[in-house]
Amino acid sequence: MLNPMRCRYIRLSAPLFVFCLLACSGDDSATTSPQANTNRNATLSLTLYTEPTTPVSVRDGAMHGLEIPSLKTGGADAFIVHTLPDGTLNYCIGYNTGLKAGSWTAYKWYNGFSSNNRAWNRNNWRNGHTFNGYGGTGDPFQPDPVLPAEVRTALADHSGSGHQRGHLLGSADRLNSKEANGQTFYLSNIHPQLPGFNEQGIWWNLENFLRDTYDTSTFRDTLYIVKGGTISEGTYRMTGNSGKLVCPNHFYMAILAYSAKMKSISGGYFAIAFWMDHKENAEAVSSRYAITIDELEQRTGIDFFCNLPDQIEDAVEGSIDPTKWKLRD
């Protein structure tokens, strides 16, 4: 658990919402209600970007989900909330408007909203389907429509970099609908990634390991996942046609699991983090890439899972059991 750093306050041109929220209830998908703590996202004033159709209750409650890191840490000065047409929360981003880059992307997996619900496939974009006018040829990548043009990257920025457009929330993580999948292609959810890291590389291997091993009803009731690349000073380089595209030196994942079957241990919660150098690497996932949440917080300056009760947060962030996470040496 990190000590919160001072939050930056900004105002940008419309469309946006500037909001101030008070402490809230627990996450709506967990089967327990976390008690009050001393470190949660409570009263904050920051720039919020979301779809115009987002219900107020979802908009105002989003920052209190267990997957959301402290909005006072990590260099994010804006909070992006993406929801589906029916009002369901899809995912959130802590976003740095100066760098035009995400600090992290956070989302949940649970029965009914899982990588295993295959109602949609990435190949559908090659079959004439479009989303916000993009797609039809297999390339639905697009600027994030909720962000003003002056604080977002464009498709042209990603050209000529020698990198692929690497998802944080993966396309294969949201197969339950066209809209859920389409939103994963927003450039706010993308970082430049080396081909041998992203495609058939260690990042790709880790993403598939998560889907195949952890996103099952026998392993979890709910998974809370945060993925990101390092964007603090000295932890990234610039690339792309414009030379202004942030390319992280490291990528990470922070994962919190809840299982009612393990409620007698830390309230049913357990956590792990993964840390990877951004380089060509085709190794399989192993315990050598696993670290504690506490260590990840020290490396990134981000306070993860701050909305957990303090006692549970302290218990799950300080240690990991590789066998519980089905990791080989």
pLDDT at residue 18, rounded to an integer: 38
Q: Return the CA Rg of the chain.
A: 18
Q: Are 44 and 21 in contact (CB under 8 A)?
A: yes
pLDDT of residue 258: 95
C-beta atoms surrounding 298 within 10 Å? 12
Question: How far is the C-alpha of 303 from the C-alpha of 70, rounded, in Å?
Answer: 5
Indicate the residue type of 282: A
Please name which of 231, 289, 293 lies closest in space to residue 257, comparing C-alpha atoms.
Answer: 293
How confident is the model at residue 14, as a pLDDT? 34
∠ CA 39-306-46 to the nearest 5 degrees?
Answer: 80
Tokens of 263: 């409620």
Report the distance separating Cα 325 and Cα 320, nearest Å: 8
CA 310 to chain centre: 22
Listed in sequence order, the residues at least 6 apart from 8 whose beta carbon sits closer than 8 Å to its beta carbon are: 46, 77
β-partners of residue 82 are 91
User: CB of 125 within 8 A of CB of 136?
Assistant: yes
Closest CA to 153 of 112, 179, 190, 200: 190
* Region for residue 136 given its phi and psi (left: phi exceeds 0; alpha: psi -120 to 50; beta: otherwise): left
Domains and CATH numbers, the chain: 17-317 (3.40.570.10)
Query: How many CB atoms are located within 10 Å of the residue 112 CB?
Result: 9
Q: Residue 31 has which token pair?
A: 């089967």
Answer whether 297's CB lies under 8 Å from 2's CB.
Answer: yes
**In this predicted structure, what is the pLDDT of residue 34?**
43
pTM here?
Answer: 0.89
Whether residue 206 contacts residue 285, with contact meaning beta carbons closer than 8 Å, is answered with: yes
In sequence order, the 6+-apart residues with CB closer than 8 A to the CB of 323 are none
pLDDT of residue 207: 95
Residue the block writes with tokens 């993403």: 207
- DSSP helix/strand/coil, 305: coil
pLDDT of residue 172: 93
Q: What is the pLDDT of residue 7?
A: 31
Tens of pLDDT, residue by residue, the chain (329 residues) = 774 332 333 333 334 443 433 223 334 444 344 455 655 776 566 899 999 999 999 998 998 999 999 998 888 999 999 999 999 999 999 999 999 999 999 999 998 788 888 889 888 998 899 999 999 998 999 999 999 999 999 999 998 888 999 999 999 999 999 999 999 999 999 999 999 999 989 999 999 999 999 998 889 999 999 999 999 999 999 998 888 899 999 999 999 999 998 888 888 999 999 999 999 999 999 999 999 999 999 999 999 999 999 999 999 999 998 888 999 88
